[in-house]
Amino acid sequence: MSTTSDIYGESNTFSPTSVTIARNGTVTWTNGTGTAHNVTFAGSGAPANIANHSSGSNARTFANAGTFSYQCTNHSGMAGSVTVQ
């Protein structure tokens, strides 16, 4: 299990859609599409949401164990999850 993971925003999907990291690990979302995406978590215990952006990378550190689902609210079905062990 890794402590870092990279997720790429592609044409209205996240890739990979699910990752597993260690507690206190970091996930970085990179958006190279030029299209506005966001990362909006469901439930509690997740880090802060990532607001709409159309380029660049945003990292979040996960302090709590669990499975955290997220979606881009701009695009139906653009979703993923981070499992923290």
Q: Give the footprint of Cu ion on this chain (CB under 5 A).
A: 37, 72, 74-75, 78
Least separation, in Å, of the C-beta of 14 and Cu ion? 9
**Burial classification of residue 7, based on how many CB atoms lie within 10 Å of its CB (0-12 exposed, 13-18 middle, 19 or more buried):** buried
Which residue's CB is nearer to Cu ion, number 37 or number 60?
37
Least separation, in Å, of the C-beta of 75 and Cu ion? 4
Amino acid at 80: G
- Block residue for tokens 């995406």: 37
Which residue's CB is nearer to Cu ion, number 32 or number 45?
32
- Nearest residue by C-beta to Cu ion? 72
Distance set, CA 3 to CA 12, 15, 67, 84 (Å):
26, 17, 15, 9
Which residue's CB is nearer to Cu ion, number 25 or number 82?
82
